[in-house]
Structure 1
């Protein structure tokens, strides 16, 4: 039932009706000032740490922002979203996955789409501050982590709702999509950044990471088969894709969550639009605008994007409150 057939985001400017223009503009050219965050380093049980940037603006309501692959708390989409929710009188917590946010972590482990243990550390950090209502927003990989968290974890009743934006709900088809045509430009940029981190890790931990394999990386196949899977306890790339794809955990979600995936997203494969699951769920809402690109959704005559304005609207809605 919660399939939103008619998205309000149907008429961006003509320029932004091109998927690549929207995506590249949002990633490279759109600028948004970083909020005046405080930062706290959270020590983890395994001896590592994560950094959380935050502004406590309201003692009752908070939103947690989850960034995408090779992103961090201060990416433009996070800055825009944080500013919007601060304006709406929310406290904002933007966390950094391990190796992200300008400081390399201590252990061989990096981050991945199923790193819900680290997200739970962030959630517990926020809940301990006494907020009555906590909301989650995730972009791309952060949206995967968010959905897996909701599907795999016993959720505190103070977590009221979530929004997952431009999210690859089926990782294998998304990875395959990035090998096609112009999409290979995005893939190349990702692999350049990932290689740099892996080389750093190989120098730190030569017994864990094979330096020679790093230069052979051309796609996510090599990244995930030779590094992501073995470093994080998965049997293989295919095992990793199967176990961390939200397609297989969405049916377990009992917290209201809105998925916003544009139909022109160059990162998303055909199985990243879980209509059947949303149609059968009382909690998983699916909105598929015709346009929007990847983590873009620019609005005419506004510095904000449709993603954060829609997320706020969903959080304030009474439609899911009956659950």
Structure 2
């Protein structure tokens, strides 16, 4: 399907947002957008753990499931603006929290990662139980990887699941980890590492015999964190096995329902392999749009409180 190199976004971006770091930090730290008045449901999982899902039923005709990024949650600004936009278009909205991200520590040792699709499937099942007739998925950053993996690894998914959009998605997770080692990008990495380290300290108290938790004090980057904690906790050999296995690139050829990947070329979180042009040219269901600008999960618009991401997602779903 089309590789959209000349994005409409590049023609509408305010000039002061042509700096990727400015756009990224503005969207994450300074832009305000209140969450909808959700109901919250705790979903009990088959392995004894749980998820929390915030939702608002607007119509049973169409629903969108929103997937947050690394160390995000269902009430991050990019989720809130997307939720509000789709509610105004008469969609129901289900914004879910990965394990440990909903304000309550989960019960089991595992946390979450880019390749988690079984928990996303539980959220899909919740929407079906609520009577939703058409279901669309939108993921941001890590959540985008989860969406792509969900479509790439599910060949016989429910016919009510129609399409997905993945925004600012690390198609190759290792390339993203490498990008976050460079220059100013290390500021983003440091913030992620600090937040994840706090959660690992809680896990060390929950499960003191599980592993050598003394290594926590040596965490300073993703390499060490993923090699010594993320990989073993989630059943991977090491960080390289983890990065390789959870990357959407492993399953991209199997996507058989419409999926739009929206990755800005200036995104500081993305690197080589995160712009799958060849796959977009070969796979009838994969749409790739690569604006020159946009930053990471940002895409600010001129004279609008919404971002291009939700506007483009709605346009994509409407076109199908």
TM-score > 0.5 by shorter chain: yes
Q: Distance in 2 between matches of 1:206 and 1:15?
A: 49
- Match for residue 271 of structure 1 among 270, 273, 293: 273
After superposition, give the CA deviation of every residue in 1:148-188 in whole Å (9 maximum; x if it has no partner).
Answer: 11111231111111100000000111100000000000000
SS in 2 for 1:270: coil
SS in 1 for 2:8: coil
Q: Distance in 2 between matches of 1:93 and 1:3?
A: 29
- Determine if contact 1:61/1:91 at 8 Å carries over to the other structure: yes
**Residue 25 of structure 1 aligns with which residue?**
26
> What is the deviation of 1:96?
0.2
- Is 1:135 the counterpart of 2:142? The answer is no
- Determine if contact 1:201/1:209 at 8 Å carries over to the other structure: no
- Is 1:64 the counterpart of 2:59? The answer is no
**Residue 42 of structure 1 aligns with which residue?**
43
> What is the deviation of 1:300?
0.4
> What is the deviation of 1:13?
1.1
Q: Name whichever of 106-115 and 200-209 sits farther off.
A: 200-209
> What is the deviation of 1:60?
1.0
> What is the deviation of 1:215?
1.6
Q: Distance in 2 between matches of 1:116 and 1:249?
A: 12
- Determine if contact 1:2/1:283 at 8 Å carries over to the other structure: no
> What is the deviation of 1:6?
1.7
**Residue 2 of structure 1 aligns with which residue?**
2
**Residue 146 of structure 2 aligns with which residue?**
145
SS in 2 for 1:233: coil
**Residue 234 of structure 2 aligns with which residue?**
232
Q: Distance in 2 between matches of 1:222 and 1:27?
A: 26
- Determine if contact 1:85/1:92 at 8 Å carries over to the other structure: yes
> What is the deviation of 1:295?
0.0
SS in 1 for 2:190: helix
SS in 2 for 1:63: strand
SS in 2 for 1:215: helix
**Residue 310 of structure 1 aligns with which residue?**
312
After superposition, give the CA deviation of every residue in 1:226-280 in whole Å (9 maximum; x if it has no partner).
Answer: 1111111111111111111111101001010000000000000021000001110
Following superposition of structure 1 onto structure 2, how do residues 1-323 of structure 1 map, counting pairs within 5 Å?
Answer: 1-11=1-11, 12-153=13-154, 154-318=156-320
Gaps of 5+ in 2: none
Q: How many residues align?
A: 318
Q: Distance in 1 between matches of 2:5 and 2:176?
A: 23
After superposition, give the CA deviation of every residue in 1:13-47 in whole Å (9 maximum; x if it has no partner).
Answer: 12100000000000000000111000000000110
Q: Distance in 1 between matches of 2:217 and 2:178?
A: 20
Q: Name whichever of 206-215 and 246-255 sits farther off.
A: 206-215
> What is the deviation of 1:209?
3.8
What is the TM-score of this pair, normalised by structure 1? 0.97
Q: Distance in 2 between matches of 1:91 and 1:210?
A: 44
> What is the deviation of 1:92?
0.1
Q: Name whichever of 261-270 and 4-13 sits farther off.
A: 4-13
After superposition, give the CA deviation of every residue in 1:186-244 in whole Å (9 maximum; x if it has no partner).
Answer: 00000010000000111111112432111211111112111111111111111111111
* Runs of at least 4 residues off by over 4 Å: none
